[in-house]
Amino acid sequence: MTPVFEFLRQRIWGVTLGVALAGVLLIMIGPGAVWVLLALILIAAGIVRFIVPVARARLPEARPGDEGLAILSPLVRKVLGQMPVPVMLLDSGSRVLFVNEPMRTVVGPSADRKPISTVLRNPEVLNAIAQTSADGEPARAEFTVAVPIERHYEAYSALVSGDPMVTVLMLHDLTAIRRSDQMRADFVANASHELRTPLAAVAGFIDTLRGHAKDDETARENFLQIMQAQTARMSRLIDDLLSLTRIELNEHVPPQGRVGVEGVVREAAAALEPLARSDRIALSIQARPGLPLITGERDELVQLFQNLIHNAIKYGRENGHVWITVDMAEPENQIFVMVKDDGEGIPPQAVPRLTERFYRVDVKRSRERGGTGLGLAIVKHIVSRHQGRLTIESRVGEGSTFTVFLPAIGTESLSKPQAPASVTEVL
């Protein structure tokens, strides 16, 4: 017997009994006004016996915090939902009553009706909320979210309603301010360190040219050539520092454009064609046709692949080859770009440090080739902003392979018939 049938069977007998008794009284006594009233009462009692349990069964069970939900009118929800800053409302038991969309990007999509301690696990924020609940006074706390990208916030809690008690928690994003402060400090430290050597060389050559070498034409031409190289190096260093600073400042801001990876890679390779030709290095691009687009900033992606290809040319062997592969890692729905050279390779202990600022495996060779030690640091931050990943494989004497994985928007184009992969020789 189904639960519904059992429920009805238990309740209908009340109505049946009330109607039967009323009928017996009307037959035995007659349709007097008093007895008619009594019959109606018995019928009503039976109906109440049936209806009240049904109504109770259909009413939702009251849950803690429902009294707080009652004050959240549609207008309040709409206003809070349209606010650009993260906002959360909590009831007297510190359970989540309301979360707007900016806050969901911080705490996740399923925060409703959960205790705040399971949504935000930062002790400073929880202490600020507890203090506000205890004394009704506003409180502030700063905290950091480490993943997926480090972000800094200031939390503000205040009591907005006393009966029932509702607490508002607002977050102020301090990420740009913190990064700006850190970047200024890093810029001063790094720039002063890296610029000191070329500036000292230029100053020394100027003193020499003013002194005993002022009439030596051969020495003057030699010194001027060196000074030109040093000033060019300083210019590249400043450009790379400014570029890295700009990329780090926007690293937490998701890119908005839609980009075709193959076109970006070909553009980057074409810009480096003269350098590869001068070093007698062949570049080849192998791209799978019909790859989907990715979400990204085109200029940053061009810079990313230029840095990787440039490194492969600089550290590849003379009369060597650089292979560039653009393809799809289908199970992960990611597009990957692999840049492989046949150079000397990188020692295993140096691989984990390659993306550090100003780290060079061979300082002398890097400076001779015009390197600033910032190329792979720029690559790392661009990949991070695009929610991708970078892998590095290298064996001494066999060359190195740098692979960037970037999430694809969709795989619609992959459903089309695929033509054989094409190889385009840039040189």
Cα–Cα distance, 353 to 413 (Å, whole number): 38
CB 201 within 8 A of CB 232: no
Q: What is the per-residue pLDDT across 37-77, written as a single tens digit (0 to 9) for each?
A: 444 444 544 444 444 444 444 434 445 445 555 566 777 77
State the pLDDT at residue 412: 42
State the pLDDT at residue 20: 54
State the pLDDT at residue 422: 35
Within 13 Å, how many C-alpha atoms sit on residue 341's CB side? 26
The DSSP element (H or E) to which 326 belongs, if any, is strand 321-329
Q: 3-class DSSP state for residue 317?
A: coil
Q: Which regions of the chain are under pLDDT 70?
A: 1-72, 162, 183, 186-187, 190-191, 193-194, 363-371, 410-427
Q: What is the per-residue pLDDT across 186-239, written as a single tens digit (0 to 9) for each?
A: 667 766 766 777 788 888 888 888 887 777 888 888 888 888 888 887 888 888
State the pLDDT at residue 162: 64
Give the strand pairing for 258-259 and 96-99. Answer: unpaired
State the pLDDT at residue 46: 47
State the pLDDT at residue 291: 92
Q: Which of 323, 357, 338 is nearest to 183 (CA)?
A: 357
The DSSP element (H or E) to which 190 belongs, if any, is helix 175-210
What is the pTM (predicted TM-score) of this model? 0.55
Cα–Cα distance, 154 to 122 (Å, whole number): 12
Residues 39, 45, 47, CA angle at the centre, nearest 5°? Answer: 105
- Retrieve residue 297's tokens: 């900033």
Residue 395 is which amino acid?
Answer: R
State the pLDDT at residue 299: 92
Q: Which of 381, 268, 375, 374 is nearest to 326 (CA)?
A: 268
Cα–Cα distance, 319 to 125 (Å, whole number): 60
